[in-house]
């Protein structure tokens, strides 16, 4: 493992990827001899939004180019520099993560693994999805291996989109297209050969969060969480949250997340793993509806519980009112799409199995919301 992933380089955005390497990759992908111009620019889109890579928005300033060449493109470069710079900002406010060599080594390992996984998943989607999953046009991928220890790269088109945050809502109708893509991705998992399957993690969350949330780091996280709050959350609620966090983010709790399918007796399926608002790019139509432009950030893809993606998507995308109204309809729609995409073959799980898991997760969340609301409005009867 190379320590260079956490060391500033002399390439773009302090990485170890040079302008010349980016230019060559793009020229090969687009089959052009046009070159980058003197007014080329790069901007970091990922500071404070991602800790395992630099998301570089590049405007090439094409010279001797053609009209078909993109005016902007994205280079996703694995690096720990975002994490280190964010920690410096937090340190100025007395909220740093106390990074040591062990944590740096852990993050470098995570960067390497998730980058290779994402490159593989894009290759899988291009091979099996037949255009049914919207992703950016992938221009080039460079995985880590024994010969390439610090120059990973993922080149893709820049997708124009309107940005939706976790507090923004879409409608049930808007959800249908991504639900179809979740179903398509699950079906793709049934078609992969064993060699390919073995390259995708089974116990993603244990490997990703086990070290990150050891006893010491869990305490640090909770301390920081309390400092971030301005007093809007009652102390009793924070105490209860701390109890649940300590229990569920301990080693056994994280392992339980990874083994949900085994516990429930449900077949594992191919999951995106991080299906929430900022990883879905949308275009807003004139009628106010949202059309999906692309799904991005596939680095946490893994074989896991069928409820993982739809549950995350359901909680992050619909308003509380719509979630309660359409929850069962969302699940029925997903399963309908799954049956259609299986083309007569037996689905990897039954509707009843996924419904049971989703209902359990939704119920506990709703109960928490009710409890919190009652604490904030003790005189209100409902």
Q: Dump pLDDT digits (tens) for 138-181.
A: 999 999 999 998 899 999 999 998 877 777 888 999 999 999 99
Which of 293, 320, 307 lies closest to 360, judged by CA? 307
- Alpha-carbon span 318 to 126, nearest angstrom: 29
Q: What angle, rounded to 10 degrees, do the helices at 172-191 and 307-317 form?
A: 160
Q: What is the pTM of this model?
A: 0.85
- Alpha-carbon span 91 to 224, nearest angstrom: 11
pLDDT of 54 reads 92
Kindly list the domain boundaries of the chain, sorted by start residue.
3-157, 172-213+250-376
Mean pLDDT of 35-52: 88
Mean pLDDT of 343-359: 76
Could you tell me if 159 and 136 are in contact, meaning their C-beta atoms sit under 8 angstroms apart?
A: yes
Check whether 2 has a pLDDT greater than 60.
no
Check whether 369 has a pLDDT greater than 70.
no
Q: How confident is the model at residue 376 (pLDDT cuts 50, 70, 90)?
A: low
- Alpha-carbon span 163 to 168, nearest angstrom: 9
Q: What share of the chain is helix, strand, coil (3-state, %, to 5)?
A: 50, 10, 35
Q: Are strands 153-157 and 73-78 parallel, antiparallel or unpaired?
A: antiparallel
Tens-digit pLDDT profile for residues 68-89 = 999 999 999 999 888 788 777 7
Dihedrals φ, ψ of 208, to 5°?
-80, -40
Residue 156, number of CB atoms within 10 A of its CB: 20
Neighbouring-strand partners of residue 76: 55, 154
Which CATH architecture best describes the domain 172-213+250-376?
A: Orthogonal Bundle (1.10)
In angstroms, what is the C-alpha Rg of the chain? 22
């Amino acid at each position: 493992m190379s320590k260079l992933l956490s060391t500033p380089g002399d390439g773009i955005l302090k990485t170890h990827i040079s302008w010349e390497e980016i230019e060559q990759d793009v020229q090969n992908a687009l089959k052009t001899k046009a070159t980058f111009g003197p007014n080329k620019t790069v901007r970091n889109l990922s500071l404070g939004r991602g800790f395992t890579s630099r998301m570089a928005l590049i405007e090439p300033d094409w010279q001797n180019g053609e009209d078909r060449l993109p005016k902007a493109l994205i280079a996703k470069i694995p690096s720990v520099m975002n994490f280190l710079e964010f920690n410096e900002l937090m340190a100025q406010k007395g909220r740093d993560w106390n990074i040591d060599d062990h944590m740096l080594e852990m993050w470098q390992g995570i960067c390497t693994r998730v980058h290779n996984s994402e490159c593989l998943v894009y290759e899988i989607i291009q091979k099996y999805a037949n255009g049914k999953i919207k992703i950016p046009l992938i221009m080039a991928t460079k995985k880590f291996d024994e010969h390439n220890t610090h120059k990973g790269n993922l080149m893709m088109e820049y997708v124009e989109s309107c940005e939706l945050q976790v507090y923004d809502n879409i409608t049930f109708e808007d959800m249908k297209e991504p639900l179809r893509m979740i179903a398509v991705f699950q079906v793709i998992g049934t078609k992969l050969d064993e060699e390919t399957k073995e390259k995708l993690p089974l116990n993603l969350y244990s490997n990703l969060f086990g070290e990150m949330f050891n006893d010491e780091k869990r305490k640090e996280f909770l301390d920081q969480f309390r400092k971030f709050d301005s007093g809007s959350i009652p102390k009793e609620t924070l105490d209860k949250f701390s109890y649940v966090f300590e229990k569920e983010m301990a080693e056994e709790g994280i392992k339980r997340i990874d083994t949900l399918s085994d516990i429930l007796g449900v077949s594992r399926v191919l999951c995106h793993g991080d299906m929430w608002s900022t990883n879905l790019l949308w275009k807003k139509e004139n009628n106010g509806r949202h059309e999906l432009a692309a799904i991005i950030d596939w680095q946490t893809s893994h074989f896991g519980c069928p409820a993982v993606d739809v549950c995350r998507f359901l909680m992050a995308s619909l308003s509380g009112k719509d979630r309660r109204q359409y929850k069962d309809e969302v699940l029925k729609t997903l399963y309908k799409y799954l049956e259609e995409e299986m083309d007569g073959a037996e689905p990897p799980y039954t509707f009843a199995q996924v419904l049971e898991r989703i209902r359990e997760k939704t119920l506990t969340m709703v109960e928490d919301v009710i409890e919190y609301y009652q604490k904030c409005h003790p005189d209100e009867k409902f």
